[in-house]
Structure 1
Amino acid sequence: MSTAKATTSLNDSGLKPSTILASQSPDKTGPLDPEQLRKIHAYWRAANYLSVGQIYLCENPLLREPLKLEHVKQLLLGHWGTTPGQNFIYAHLNRVIKEHDLNMIYISGPGHGAPAVVGNVYLEGTYSEVYPNISEDEAGLKKLFKQFSFPGGISSHVSPQTPGSIHEGGELGYSISHAFGAAFDNPDLVVACVVGDGEAETGPLATAWHSNKFLDPITDGVVLPILNLNGFKISNPTVLARITHEELEHLFLGYGWTPYFVEGEDPETMHQIMAATLDKVVEQIQKIQHDARIQGNATRPRWPMIVLRSLKGWTGPKVIDGLPVEGTFRAHQVPLSVSSSTPPDHLEQLESWMRSYKPEELFDERGRLLPELAALAPEGDRRMGANPHANGGKLLRRLHMPDFRDYAVNVPAPTAVEAGNVHVLGPFLRDVIKLNENPRNFRIFGPDETISNRLEAVFEVTNRQWDAATVANDEFLAPCGDVIEMLSEHQCEGWLEGYLLTGRHGLFNSYEAFIRIVDSMFTQHAKWLKMSLELPWRRKIASLNYLLTSHVWRQDHNGFTHQDPGFIDHVINKKSEMVRVYLPPDANCLLSTMDHCLRSLNYINLVVCGKHDAPQWLTMDAAVEHCTEGIGIWQWASNDQDGEPDVVMACAGDVPTLETLAAVSILREHLPELKIRVVNVVDLMRLEPDTEGPHGMSDVEYDSLFTKDKHIIFAFHGYPWLVHRLTYRRANRNLHVRGYKEEGTITTAFDMTVMNDMDRFHLVIDTVDRLPQTGSKGAYLKQQLADKLVEHRRYIKEHGVDMPEIREWKWGDSK
């Protein structure tokens, strides 16, 4: 098979001869004159050349000598199929940025699109500014090529290492969510979001098209989705590529968009159509914004979007080993294998493919992009790789914060008052919103649970942002608001991440069980933060803050489906430098914790606390001291001040704290000779050794709290084995943890603890079982408590509520 048959046939300009003649015909017009057309096509060729070079070459970057096998990487990794389409898009976006002075960032949704984005950021000059060792010359090109998918180099997907990126290329499904998060409260920003047609099959992406109902054309920027419809995934066709044009158009019309189609194979025709389409789209965007901002048109607009239907692996090899490649699934990854074990003509085909882009016409003798082509890219911060919104820490403004102490619950004595912990937090968050309203710098995101989670105080100063229809009796809906709710945890997470990555602050509130839906999104954000900290040019951004309530221990009417504290385990799996898990036991501790979280940078903070009325333990001063330390002895509940304790009663979480203190009161009444130490944990990361994380305790600190050998009865909010995992290196092996063990149903609050053996009675029995010195007094107490458990079961089945002695218990009643 000849090389000519395996590659696209091009003339000196890189355009098919027939299309050059057509471009000069009065019947074939477009916004690009012949010279503009020649240049933009050359720029596209340059980007394609760099993309192929990154996948294949480690030497001879400009093909100044015949290609040899030693010039090719021994391990070929990367994805070609999506790349030429993205290069085509990037080149045309550069043109409209320059012509209209647009403030635009680029989000690459297709997985593994790094060859395109890295290549374009290099061509525009940003890459060499960020990484001076990757210089704009032949030596720099060699390094650029070699580092791609190479040990110690960069990944094959867009990552934090890529200037201009706020979206991890492997996160299929979240590109539009991130794009809208970036656009909120950025009225001058245009977010060009390329959506892969494989990515478009994911549930989060399919739902994300509805984000246009939450965008305010007055106060927000705009998202321009570009569906890169090249027809195939790894080895299957994509759904959207195999439905009719009419069905596809109706789909997006149904979503509320105005779709524009750019379709074809001929480069010259496609350039003209794309240029004309982008001009029309920019005109439509500017008209929508003018009508809303100047004319006061309150009608929800149909924002434009583009469907780019092009060949997968466009301009690459057409046929390899007798099988079609361009325009098929075979173009998805590395379409042409080249090694000592592949047919010799594969190397020839690679050289022919790369030379078809005519690098000698694109780069000068030094290896720099020709000045006339380099001039096509925007300048300075208008370059998409250099836009400050893609390095959000550059734009970060610290929050104006009210004094959280002003919202304190007055606690004259432990359990003297009850309050809903999250309900107390509401007025504090209300005033955070109020203080950061102009310009808006803080938002709350959640899946229709802000009121359910008892944060309704925020609606005293703001609304839910909503740009769809409203009817009588709707509440708190307005085109502009600081709360955005959609019954999709994926969208809430993606919006918040995009908001944070572009330099703002926010909070995600959710039910504890259903936050698991965003496990993978949390993972990618944690990895993004870790990599960003290793890059000196990436500025720190505001922390991703989760507030989880409606938690496992209080699902009175929801039952087993709503009982899952496993997100804590998932968070703890990540690097300790990135994550914190807080379990405040009462409202004052929650206020102190949330103030700290909202002020922090480059963390993922998980706060879990109940919304129902619950006993309040600490004064505000005591809460601040306790939360600052993260863990400590509650001396007022302990009686071991004059000697070593017989047992350590530890707790982490609001309900475990209640049950532990109730258990302590029983022990102190019936076994007053026992010396008991009560340790409460707010910051879960304090349990791990300081050798494993920056917030951990030294062995000396840990032993001073928990002793080296006394029994520890630990009541924990989540799965018991997590505490064991955090403490397995400690000297004290006498650790007995009670927590959630997948037992639950629709039942009373106290019965949930009984079903999982974490109630006060089981905690006392556990203690007696491990302290033989309690003797017969302990045995009689165990029998009394066993009887109580029987009485409890009988009582709730008859009355439907917990026994009065459980519901009305106060510290000091029986100790």
Structure 2
Amino acid sequence: MPGEIIDRPNPEAKASHIPDDILALSAQFEKKSLPENDLASIKAFRRAASYIAAAMIFLKDNVLLEKDLSFDDVRPRLLGHWGTCPGLILVYAHLNYLIRKHDLNMIYVVGPGHGAPAILASLWLEGSMGKFLPQYSTNKSGLHELITKFSTPGGPPSHINAETPGAIHEGGELGYALAVSFGAVMDKPDLIVTCVVGDGEAETGPTATAWHGYKYIDPAESGAVIPIVHVNGFKISERTIYGCMDDKELTALFTGYGYKPRFVEDLEDIDTDMANSLDWAVSEIRKIQKAAREGNPIMKPQWPVLIMRTPKGWGCPKKVDGEIVEGSFHAHQVPLMKAKSDPQHLKDLQKWLQSYGPEELFEDGKPVKSILDIIPEKDEKKMGQVKETYDPYIGIDVPDWMPLAVDKGTEESSMQRCGELLDKAIQTNPKTLRIFSPDELESNKLKATLNHTGRNFQWDQFSNAKGGRVIEILSEHTCQGFLQGYTLTGRVGLFPSYEAFLGIIHTMMVQYAKFGKMAQEATWRGPVGSLNYIETSTWTRQEHNGFSHQNPSFIGAVLNLKPNAARVYLPPDANCFLSTLAHCLRSKNYVNLMVGSKQPSPVFLSPKEADAHCRAGASVWEFASTDKGLNPDVVLVGIGAELTFEVVKAAELLQDIAPELRVRVVNVTDLMVLETEGIHPHSLTNQDFDSLFTSDRAVHFSYHGYGTELKGLLFARPGTERITIEGYREEGSTTTPFDMMLVNHVSRYHVMEYALRGGAKVNEKIRARLVPLLADVKHRIEKTRQYIYNEGKDPEGTYDLKMLNGSGGGGVMYEG
């Protein structure tokens, strides 16, 4: 194959520079020759896929070089990333051979996502493109479509995504492939995921932490990952860190991570090297799994990792316009950028493409038999057609939450009660439900999830080989990657977190949502479970940790998703949270964000009332309203547990100081009902919106998130000039819980002020007393703040509530 013998991009990394006491691992392993026919087939597959990949980047016609290239045959816009393609194709060819040889069930996850031409070419050769996308069938017309439509409107994009058969990973943003791979093999004992990590991607923080993934894989119950680090030396325009490390340094690094590294770097016989290395990796995996499955698990096993050194852009012109291209960053994207206009570039392109010998690889546009000989015979074994990648949904049996409900008028922690539901769900679904938590499970009052399971941490002697369903690693990126891989292969996961730190995985969540959007548009892909987030330890209860822990911005990140994916719930009490959690665990294809309190707080609704309230998404709370909410002067709306408490308390206080004011209290638990009519599936019609909020009365919203988010949802509703909003103002410190309400203008007193001003517009009695009433409210604010600063605590009775069956609260709702 062209370019098979070439100097390394980093000659200093040669094994000959290693001291005698640490040998290059590649020298330690015996190399067995491949059968000649198999070797010829592997080389033919590589040549054919490389030809197609290069042609996809450049050609709009004459795709099999049936005549000399002309400028008219070249695309007007040259798009694509060639640099990583030869290495990805090398791996693909050998994985085909490996699957066929060992009858493996394997998924290929590609970290260098912009290497789509390599994967699409390989998928076309194996027939997977044609299976799901008939326009790309394995014949001459299908090949013409694939090559000419690549990176054009309506054609395959330049990066791997949900339109790519076999893909379970969005290739647009680097860093997540490895964690996704580990998530995919959990509870899939017969599955192997081969994951290529580019040496550019290896520089990202998420990848650096994901190398610890094996510490959370129990080989008795789960499959395995074969990581392949593709060291080609360059990013888009700079050397890579790994490319500047020699074999000794890389060996030390990966040995410390818990791996046994093997180098694939014999450029003179790369196919023999790769075939032997993959065979070795499978044998190492089987040793570890066999021991675990026979009841003798190896403590801290060394899992295989391959470090593959090949030149960047292997096979393309070595020099272009006097610049070194092959083996340099110039090969990263398009090696011949002027092929459409420069005669020499066009000539070089034709020479490059002809070097693969397309006339030997295709017969009337179909791949020759020798190429097909290494492709798995069974469709379900082809990497583009593994069922777990396109029709995986297993789902879970969600237990009935009603037996766990609590009595109205009592106090309960929503998280503690949800922990009980999750405990039952784990018992019912021992192989299809996992919890991924960044070391905050017990802090978030979800300890009950551990009643019948444990943590799955294989490097801990007390957790090793115990089959725990909870994974705690203090890396939000790794939790997210695990969750994505687990979900996209058919199971259900949950990600509980401190509210302030979910934003760390904002872009990962968005990348996943984009994958989900395209997956739903690809008719051949089946549904998957939803991504489920529980956001607790919220800003309203983080006064003891201070300003850094006060940040509800992840709500906005979810709100910005496509309406068919975005779901945001703010259940006001434990019963509502149980109903919401049960729904989210059953749902498919959504990104569910549930925001709630972990501290004991009032239970406003009975189980049946809570279920009806959650189905509706919002309702009038008659018990807190004047005359059950009829003919109100003003409407007060609570969104979020603590803020709803303040609204209800405000309504209670208003009965004392202004009994003539008619107040309607509304709670919104499904934030999406407020979206403009017709925009979101949950949006209220304008008529239904007015039935809750009236058509002409002042409405004040106390909202847990940033007020601008709510303004965006309500923007197109009629009569928004009568609406006022208060939310988190980016004000906080280490203070008391109620002071957090005060500084953010969401306290009961601030709600009372809005209620009086709004009610005065239609109620003459209130208007006549407005000035002294407001003075009373402002005095209460000042006296309360003075007490807090003098005493260092909130006033006694702050959290009593008479409206619930005439009983007060226990005073622990706002505990830190």
Equivalent residues in 2 for 1:53-202 (5 A)? 53-202=55-204
Residue in structure 1 matching 2:598, options 602, 605, 611: 611
Q: Which whole-Å deviations, capped at 9, do the CAs of 1:261-319 have from their partners, x for residues lacking one?
A: 011433xx111111111121111111221122126234221100100000000011111
Q: Aligned letter for 1:429?
A: L
Q: Is the 8 A contact 1:543 1:602 kept in 2?
A: yes
Instruction: Compute the displacement of 1:722 (Å).
Output: 1.2
* CA 9–787 in structure 1, closer or farther in 2 if over 3 Å, else same: closer
Instruction: Compute the displacement of 1:778 (Å).
Output: 2.9
**Structure 2, gaps ≥5 residues long:** 6-29, 809-816
Query: Match for residue 15 of structure 2?
Result: none
Query: Match for residue 635 of structure 1?
Result: 622
* CA 479–354 in structure 1, closer or farther in 2 if over 3 Å, else same: farther
Once the two structures are aligned, what percentage of the paired residues are identical?
A: 44
Q: Within the alignment, does 1:599 sit opposite 2:586 as a pair?
A: yes
Distance in 2 between residues matched to 1:495 and 1:208, nearest whole Å: 9
Residue in structure 2 matching 1:447, options 434, 438, 443: 438
Instruction: Compute the displacement of 1:29 (Å).
Output: 6.7
Residue in structure 1 matching 2:245, options 243, 246, 250: 243
Distance in 2 between residues matched to 1:154 and 1:712, nearest whole Å: 49
Q: Within the alignment, does 1:263 sit opposite 2:260 as a pair?
A: no
Q: Which whole-Å deviations, capped at 9, do the CAs of 1:45-79 have from their partners, x for residues lacking one?
A: 01101100111112111111111211111001000
Distance in 2 between residues matched to 1:527 and 1:743, nearest whole Å: 33
SS in 2 for 1:401: coil
Residue in structure 2 matching 1:467, options 458, 468, 493: 458
Instruction: Compute the displacement of 1:642 (Å).
Output: 8.2
Q: Which moved more, 1:616-625 or 1:636-645?
A: 636-645
Q: Is the 8 A contact 2:543 2:735 kept in 1?
A: yes
Distance in 2 between residues matched to 1:222 and 1:235, nearest whole Å: 34
* CA 227–814 in structure 1, closer or farther in 2 if over 3 Å, else same: closer
Q: Which moved more, 1:641-650 or 1:671-680?
A: 641-650
Distance in 2 between residues matched to 1:509 and 1:805, nearest whole Å: 32
Q: Aligned letter for 1:768?
A: L
Instruction: Compute the displacement of 1:494 (Å).
Output: 0.5
Distance in 1 between residues matched to 2:394 and 2:313, nearest whole Å: 43
Query: Match for residue 312 of structure 2?
Result: 312
Q: Which moved more, 1:659-668 or 1:779-788?
A: 779-788
Query: Match for residue 351 of structure 2?
Result: 352
Query: Match for residue 373 of structure 2?
Result: 375
Q: Aligned letter for 2:753?
A: I
Q: Which moved more, 1:490-499 or 1:780-789?
A: 780-789
Distance in 1 between residues matched to 2:695 and 2:767, nearest whole Å: 24
Equivalent residues in 2 for 1:514-553 (5 A)? 514-553=501-540
Q: Aligned letter for 1:401?
A: V
Distance in 2 between residues matched to 1:140 and 1:648, nearest whole Å: 62
SS in 2 for 1:806: coil
Instruction: Compute the displacement of 1:730 (Å).
Output: 1.1
Instruction: Compute the displacement of 1:708 (Å).
Output: 2.2
Distance in 2 between residues matched to 1:814 and 1:308, nearest whole Å: 69
Residue in structure 1 matching 2:744, options 756, 776, 779: 756
Distance in 2 between residues matched to 1:230 and 1:390, nearest whole Å: 28
Query: Match for residue 676 of structure 2?
Result: 689
SS in 2 for 1:464: coil
Query: Match for residue 403 of structure 1?
Result: 400
Distance in 2 between residues matched to 1:301 and 1:29, nearest whole Å: 24
Q: Is the 8 A contact 1:103 1:382 kept in 2?
A: yes
Q: Is the 8 A contact 2:699 2:758 kept in 1?
A: no
Q: Which whole-Å deviations, capped at 9, do the CAs of 1:757-805 have from their partners, x for residues lacking one?
A: 1000011112223343313533222222222222212222233221113
Instruction: Compute the displacement of 1:249 (Å).
Output: 1.0
Q: Is the 8 A contact 2:437 2:473 kept in 1?
A: yes
Residue in structure 2 matching 1:435, options 423, 428, 445: 428
Q: Is the 8 A contact 1:666 1:814 kept in 2?
A: no
Distance in 2 between residues matched to 1:67 and 1:536, nearest whole Å: 37
Q: Aligned letter for 2:417?
A: V
Distance in 2 between residues matched to 1:202 and 1:58, nearest whole Å: 36
Q: Which whole-Å deviations, capped at 9, do the CAs of 1:230-273 have from their partners, x for residues lacking one?
A: 0000000000110222111100011110000011433xx11111
Q: Which whole-Å deviations, capped at 9, do the CAs of 1:532-552 have from their partners, x for residues lacking one?
A: 110110000000000010001
What do you get for the CA RMSD once the two structures are aligned?
A: 1.8
Distance in 1 between residues matched to 2:350 and 2:32, nearest whole Å: 34
Distance in 2 between residues matched to 1:397 and 1:169, nearest whole Å: 25
Q: Is the 8 A contact 1:463 1:477 kept in 2?
A: no
Instruction: Compute the displacement of 1:523 (Å).
Output: 0.2
* CA 9–70 in structure 1, closer or farther in 2 if over 3 Å, else same: farther
Query: Match for residue 508 of structure 1?
Result: 495
Instruction: Compute the displacement of 1:34 (Å).
Output: 2.8
SS in 1 for 2:580: helix
Q: Which moved more, 1:557-566 or 1:256-265?
A: 256-265
Distance in 2 between residues matched to 1:166 and 1:532, nearest whole Å: 10
* CA 29–594 in structure 1, closer or farther in 2 if over 3 Å, else same: closer
Q: Is the 8 A contact 2:675 2:684 kept in 1?
A: yes
Distance in 2 between residues matched to 1:673 and 1:793, nearest whole Å: 28
Q: Aligned letter for 1:397?
A: I
Q: Which whole-Å deviations, capped at 9, do the CAs of 1:676-699 have from their partners, x for residues lacking one?
A: 111110100000123211111111
Q: Is the 8 A contact 2:618 2:666 kept in 1?
A: yes
- Between the two proteins, the alignment pairs up a number of residues equal to 777
Distance in 2 between residues matched to 1:297 and 1:78, nearest whole Å: 45
Instruction: Compute the displacement of 1:343 (Å).
Output: 2.0
Q: Is the 8 A contact 1:646 1:676 kept in 2?
A: yes
Query: Match for residue 19 of structure 1?
Result: none
> What is the TM-score with the length of structure 2 in the denominator?
0.93
Q: Is the 8 A contact 2:42 2:93 kept in 1?
A: yes
Q: Within the alignment, does 1:574 sit opposite 2:561 as a pair?
A: yes
Distance in 2 between residues matched to 1:352 and 1:30, nearest whole Å: 34
Q: Which whole-Å deviations, capped at 9, do the CAs of 1:556-577 have from their partners, x for residues lacking one?
A: 3101000001111111011111
Instruction: Compute the displacement of 1:814 (Å).
Output: 11
Q: Is the 8 A contact 2:406 2:607 kept in 1?
A: yes
Q: Which moved more, 1:230-239 or 1:799-808?
A: 799-808
Residue in structure 1 matching 2:207, options 202, 205, 208: 205
Q: Is the 8 A contact 1:262 1:307 kept in 2?
A: yes
Query: Match for residue 16 of structure 2?
Result: none
Distance in 1 between residues matched to 2:748 and 2:457, nearest whole Å: 46
Q: Is the 8 A contact 2:621 2:629 kept in 1?
A: no
Query: Match for residue 288 of structure 2?
Result: 288
Distance in 2 between residues matched to 1:523 and 1:777, nearest whole Å: 51
Query: Match for residue 701 of structure 1?
Result: 688
Q: Which moved more, 1:673-682 or 1:543-552?
A: 673-682
Q: Aligned letter for 1:506?
A: G
* CA 597–295 in structure 1, closer or farther in 2 if over 3 Å, else same: closer
Query: Match for residue 667 of structure 2?
Result: 680
SS in 2 for 1:804: coil
Q: Is the 8 A contact 1:56 1:73 kept in 2?
A: yes
Residue in structure 2 matching 1:809, options 795, 798, 801: 801
Instruction: Compute the displacement of 1:324 (Å).
Output: 0.8
Q: Which moved more, 1:257-266 or 1:510-519?
A: 257-266
Residue in structure 1 matching 2:542, options 555, 559, 565: 555
Query: Match for residue 13 of structure 2?
Result: none
Q: Within the alignment, does 1:784 sit opposite 2:780 as a pair?
A: no
Q: Aligned letter for 2:222?
A: D
Q: Which moved more, 1:767-776 or 1:320-329?
A: 767-776
Q: Is the 8 A contact 1:8 1:356 kept in 2?
A: no
Distance in 1 between residues matched to 2:490 and 2:628, nearest whole Å: 49
Distance in 1 between residues matched to 2:748 and 2:460, nearest whole Å: 51
SS in 2 for 1:395: coil
Query: Match for residue 417 of structure 1?
Result: 410
**Structure 1, gaps ≥5 residues long:** 11-27
Distance in 1 between residues matched to 2:31 and 2:398, nearest whole Å: 58
Q: Aligned letter for 2:691?
A: S
* CA 357–371 in structure 1, closer or farther in 2 if over 3 Å, else same: same
Instruction: Compute the displacement of 1:607 (Å).
Output: 0.2
